[in-house]
Amino acid sequence: FLQFVFHTYTTGFTLVNGNGTAKSEKYSVQQKQVFLGLGAVSYAACIGALPVFFMNRYILKSPLTQLVVRKLLHAPLLGLMSAFTVAVVRSPEFENGVEVMDRNGKVVGISKKAGEKAVRETALSRAALFGTAFFLPSVLMYFVERVNFAKTPRALASTRMMMITAVLAGMLPVSLSIFPQCGEIKRADLEPEILSSTEETEFFYNRGI
């Protein structure tokens, strides 16, 4: 349930802050993206909970299994599923293309390659944000437990929450600045029909968040 709530929030954020250029022939973009988002959220939540389910179902209680499943596997899996939900809910952007502008802000065409680049960069930044925000605190908590800094379960939970909050707050501006909001794409990477209508050498697009 918590996995579902988390991915629902991040997917909704992605839906609101994507590039609004793409047009669907059969459905409105938002309607199609909502359906895709619901499927992606359900899939991501199930995949995220699967390791813990198997560990509890088959009574895998060894220290190594506990370490891998509860502390090491969770973070990269969450980062991967976060990138997956971004790619799915914003798939109309690389299927139909996004607006490409010249240096003066004039729209010169709609490019699928620019849409693919925008979605890929956003997915990578989202994976870096949540993967790091949950992996680094797990590593730090290992040392906290070793030195017995927090002696009670409540103190351990509070310490872990503070570490996650601190790392998330630090990683948020980093993930947003990995790729520029106004992305640039080379002339050689654009479709021939766009190049035939302009002599510009620099082109830009809105990456979304």
For residue 134, what pLDDT is reported? 82
Residue bearing the bigger pLDDT, 156 or 3: 3
* % residues pLDDT > 90 (the chain): 25
Domain count, the chain: 1
Q: What is the pLDDT of residues 8-34, one digit of tens each?
A: 999 999 988 888 775 545 545 677 888
For residue 24, what pLDDT is reported? 46
Overall average pLDDT of the 140-144 stretch: 79
* DSSP H or E stretch at residue 139: helix 112-146
Say what the pTM is: 0.81
Q: What is the C-alpha separation between 22 and 97, in angstroms, rounded?
A: 6
Domain residue limits at 53: 1-206
Residue 87 has pLDDT above 60, yes or no: yes
Spatial contact of 114 and 97, defined as CB atoms under 8 Å apart:
yes
Give the dihedral of Cα atoms 48, 53, 54, 60; nearest 10 deg.
120
